[in-house]
Amino acid sequence: MIYHVLHSSTRELRILTPAEVLDMDTDAAGRIVIHGADGEFYYLLADESLTA
């Protein structure tokens, strides 16, 4: 599984692997927030299941 994400503060697009994801949750706006292994927070844009 790969995750296409947007960095929460820099808005940089990235791709994360499961090894780079510590936790997932939702925020008050209903967005899926990923806590990365690098200590940063990201918003989930899509995962590879959308391309299957």
**Residue written as tokens 């499961």?**
18
Global pTM?
A: 0.86
**Residue written as tokens 């590879």?**
48
Distance between CA 11 and CA 50 in Å, rounded? Answer: 21
Residue 5 tokens, joined: 């994400």
Q: What is the pLDDT of residues 1-52, one digit of tens each?
A: 899 999 999 999 999 999 999 999 999 999 999 999 999 999 999 887 766 5
Residue 3: alpha-carbon gap to chain centroid: 6
Instruction: Give the CA angle between residues 18, 10, 51 to the nearest 5°.
Output: 40
State how many domains the chain has.
Answer: 1
